[in-house]
Structure formats: structure tokens, C-alpha cells
């Protein structure tokens, strides 16, 4: 019997575990620090096993990897290179949904020599975005077309009926990762010119897009889009932007939060345990007047502006105790957001992934091609985020076990032999794109 070792049992693990448990002749081992979480995923399935594993216990980690045929790491990305080195030494394949770090990329030659594949970026974003983009790009090339512009945007959002707060966003777990992403500069290509947006202006640099069957969204650039020009084979392209989707009101509010300094996480504070949110916010705008008016003045906004009302809705002007023993300013903001912006029982989330291509053909014929994935979570079941992150990786595991992937080294799913079968399988389980093409000249 083949053995799959899954490291981690977080919120995206369940769809993957369920998929793998349904494979005949495959035993699924879930190893995690809190074994009760693994047991909850495995249940009483005869081909499942839940084990305790501390990732820092390298001897135990090595032992479990040695007993497996393939490893899936759902751990934080900083642990992936350590897991990968053990996999290479033991000649075991590895699958992760995380971006390829420099430490992971450095293992490419070593993994190839060992005949091991290290598949990364095979979740949603990154993952399904790569695969769906490459499927279209390769098709355009086969028709002798040239991609002149590509904008790819993705967002995990509340489903429309659950979109009931002023910021248009909700969290399934700690907001810290989402907030940290707002501290990165953005770099992209627009109309042939390289554009750099500093983190301080990131949320001020949004635009709006209407997506059929989904609605209107705010869009802002996501980190560095330039490497994807080479990655997707789009030399000569004039516009290349990877971006994030949010509901209306998010960007102007986050820009204000950024300008106030609430995203700072450069030091851990031990003086906030007895402070209220209002006292904490006052530190960013010294004075003795009305806090709302002082904040509005600092942001150059009228006091009745929607941004001020959203900050008020978050409870940042109140006497409510922060009740954190130690943490950064970003931790304080994250706590306030999670208290008011968590999903309620039976509420659904929604994934929207949208590609916009401008294509030119040899006869000067030009087209605008849009491809959209919309997926909804299940009330009290799997979230759309969990499904779309973990199922591509689970399908890749199956393909490796069945000997359908012959590649070695560090890989991401931009090759046809990887993306085509994964997209086909996703389509069978209801995760598929809808395309629209419009002739523009």
C-alpha cells in the first residue's frame, strides 16, 4: 500500500485528506502537533492514521518521511526547505502549495540528481492561477496569437449573502497574514513601462473591475508581477499585472489604516495589556480633542466619511480593553478585526479568480478574453478557500503515485503535463472556469 504523509492539519487540510482517503491502495498519515486535529480529519477510516509530530523534532520527522512514498507539507513555508532536504536524502517526492522560496529553489539540482520532484505553488493563488493561465496562453500560441496584456486577480471573499459588514471582508482565521500582505511594495508592467508602488501607497493604487456573475470589485496590485513574464513565456508583453480582489470600501479603509501606522509590526509591545483601543489609537494622533475629529483631520477626511465610520465600527474609538499581554500594533488591529469580521455559523465564503487577456493575431485581429472561476463554500462544510487550495495539491499527489508525472527537481505547475490533468480533474469536481471572448478590432 502506498503511503502519503501530510504535515499539518490546518483549515485547508480537510478536502485533501478526504480526497486521498477515497483512493484505493493509499494510506494517508496526518502528522501534526495537535493530534486531536488530525484524528478529527481521519475519523475511523481504515486507511487513515493520525500521529503527533513536532516539526522541530528532526529525527521523528525523518522517520515518518522515510516510511512514506510522498510528502505533503501544509506547514508554514519556512519549514518547507527542511522537509525538502529530508525528502531528497530519502528519495521521496514533496508537494506544497506555497511560493518557491530562494532556499527551495536552491535544491533544484540536488532534487533532480536524486530523481525527486518538489512540486510547489499548486494551491489556488499560487496554483490554479498558474495552471489556468498557462492553459489559455498555450492555446493562444497554438492559434498563432500573441498576448499583449494579462491581468490576473484573485480574492477570497464572503459570499454575497454573508457580505454584511462595512469592510466587505471576513476571516476564517487570524487576519495577520492578510494584513502583512499590505506591507509589501508592488511592481508590475503597464503599457510597456515598469511601475513600482511603495507599500505606503498600495491601497491608494486600486482600480475597479466588473466581473460577470460576481459583481464589481476593487483591485490592487500584488507584490512583484515581473517574474511571471518569463515564467509564462510572455516576452514582449506590454501589460502584466497580478492583483488582489476586494469588495468596495476595503482599499480606502486599509489606506487610512496604513497611513495611521496601524500596520506596524516592528516591535513587540508589553504596555498594551491594560490599554483600551481608544487609548491605543490616540497614540497615533496626539492631542486632547475628540478622537474621531483628530483622526479625520490627520487623514484629511470629513468626520462623517465612510472610512471614519468603518474605523468606529471596528471599535477603535472605544474604551474596550485590548487584552493582549504582548504584541505589535498590527496584532492589536488583527484582534479587533477578528472580533468583528469572523464568519458566523453556516456562512459561506467565495473564491473569485479572474484572468483578462488582450490577444493579437497575425491578421491584426484583436480579442479580449476573460476567464473566471467562482467557487462557493458549503454551509458548515468545506470553505471554498480550503477546496481550491488543497484539492489541486491532492490531485498532484495522486498523479505522482500513479506514475503520471515524470518530472524531477523544483517545479511549479506551468507545464502542460502538470496543469492539464489537474485542471481536468478539478473540473470533474465542480471547480471550473467560464470564458468570454470579445472582438475588439
pLDDT at 288: 82
* Burial call 234-263: b when 16+ CB within 10 Å, e when fewer: beebebbbbbbbbbbbbbbbbbbbbbbebb
pLDDT at 273: 86
CA dihedral of 77, 83, 89, 94, whole degrees rounded to 10? -70
d(C-alpha 385, C-alpha 35), whole Å: 23
pLDDT at 153: 98
Cell readout for 256 is 487610512
Cell readout for 441 is 478590432
Sign of the C-alpha dihedral computed for residues 373, 203, 390 and 381 taken in this order = negative
Inter-CA distances, 350 with 228, 320, 353, Å: 26, 32, 10
pLDDT at 215: 95
Residues designated as active site = 125
Contact by Cβ (8 Å): 206, 215: no
Q: Is the pTM of this model over 0.75?
A: yes
pLDDT beneath 50: ranges in the chain:
none
For the chain, which domains are there?
A: 2-123+385-431 (3.40.50.720), 128-253+344-379+434-439 (3.30.360.10), 263-340 (no CATH)
pLDDT at 286: 84
d(C-alpha 403, C-alpha 388), whole Å: 23
pLDDT at 440: 85
Q: Which residues, other chains included, contact 192 with Cβ-Cβ below 8 Å and sequence gap of 6+?
A: 238, 239
> DSSP letter string over 177-239?
HHHHHTTS-EEEEETTEEEEE-GGGGGGS-EEEEETTTEEEEEEE-SB-THHHHHTT-TT-SE
pLDDT, tens digit (0-9, with 9 covering 90-100), for 83-111: 999 999 999 999 999 999 999 999 999 99
Report how far Cα 124 is from the mean position of its chain's Cα atoms.
7
Q: Are strands 207-211 and 215-221 parallel, antiparallel or unpaired?
A: antiparallel
Q: For residue 379, what is the DSSP state?
A: T
Amino acid at each position: 500500500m502506498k503511503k502519503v504523509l501530510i504535515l499539518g492539519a490546518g483549515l485547508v487540510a480537510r478536502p485533501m485528506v478526504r480526497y486521498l482517503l477515497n483512493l484505493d491502495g493509499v494510506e494517508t498519515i496526518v502528522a501534526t502537533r495537535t493530534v486531536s486535529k488530525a484524528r478529527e480529519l481521519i475519523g475511523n477510516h481504515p486507511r487513515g492514521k493520525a500521529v503527533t509530530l513536532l516539526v522541530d523534532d528532526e529525527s521523528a520527522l525523518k522517520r515518518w518521511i522515510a516510511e512514506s512514498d510522498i510528502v505533503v507539507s501544509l506547514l508554514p513555508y519556512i519549514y518547507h526547505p527542511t522537509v525538502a532536504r529530508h525528502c531528497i536524502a530519502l528519495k521521496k517526492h514533496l508537494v506544497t502549495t506555497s511560493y518557491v522560496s530562494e532556499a527551495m529553489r536552491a535544491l533544484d539540482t540536488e532534487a533532480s540528481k536524486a530523481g525527486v520532484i518538489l512540486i510547489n505553488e499548486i494551491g489556488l493563488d499560487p496554483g490554479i492561477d498558474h495552471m489556468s493561465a498557462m492553459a489559455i496562453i498555450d492555446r493562444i500560441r497554438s492559434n498563432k496569437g500573441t498576448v499583449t496584456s494579462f491581468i490576473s486577480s484573485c480574492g477570497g471573499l464572503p459570499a454575497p449573502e454573508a457580505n454584511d459588514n462595512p469592510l466587505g471582508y471576513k476571516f476564517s482565521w487570524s487576519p495577520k497574514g492578510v494584513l502583512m500582505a499590505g506591507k509589501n511594495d508592488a511592481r508590475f508592467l503597464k503599457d510597456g513601462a515598469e511601475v513600482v508602488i511603495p507599500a505606503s501607497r498600495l491601497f491608494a493604487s486600486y482600480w475597479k473591475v466588473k466581473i460577470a456573475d460576481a459583481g464589481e470589485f476593487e483591485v490592487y496590485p500584488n507584490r512583484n508581477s515581473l517574474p511571471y513574464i518569463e515564467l509564462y513565456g510572455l516576452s514582449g508583453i506590454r501589460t502584466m499585472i497580478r492583483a488582489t480582489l476586494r469588495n468596495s470600501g476595503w482599499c480606502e479603509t486599509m489606506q487610512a489604516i496604513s497611513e495611521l501606522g496601524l500596520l506596524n509590526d516592528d516591535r513587540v509591545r508589553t504596555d498594551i495589556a491594560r490599554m483600551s483601543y481608544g487609548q491605543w489609537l490616540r497614540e497615533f494622533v496626539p492631542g486632547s480633542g475628540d478622537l474621531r475629529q483628530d483622526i479625520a483631520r490627520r487623514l484629511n477626511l470629513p468626520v462623517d466619511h465612510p472610512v471614519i465610520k468603518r474605523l468606529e465600527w471596528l471599535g477603535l474609538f472605544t474604551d474596550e480593553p485590548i487584552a493582549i499581554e504582548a504584541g505589535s500594533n498590527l496584532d492589536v488591529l488583527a484582534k479587533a478585526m477578528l472580533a468583528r469580521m469572523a464568519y458566523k455559523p453556516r456562512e459561506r465564503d467565495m473564491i473569485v479568480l479572474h484572468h483578462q487577456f488582450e490577444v493579437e493575431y497575425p491578421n491584426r485581429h484583436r480579442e479580449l478574453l476573460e476567464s473566471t472561476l467562482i467557487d462557493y463554500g458549503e454551509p458548515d462544510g468545506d470553505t471554498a478557500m480550503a477546496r481550491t487550495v488543497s484539492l489541486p495539491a491532492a490531485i498532484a499527489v495522486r498523479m505522482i503515485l500513479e506514475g503520471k508525472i515524470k518530472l524531477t527537481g523544483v517545479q511549479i505547475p506551468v507545464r502542460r503535463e502538470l496543469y492539464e490533468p489537474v485542471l481536468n480533474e478539478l473540473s470533474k469536481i465542480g471547480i471550473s472556469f467560464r470564458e468570454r471572448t470579445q472582438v475588439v478590432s
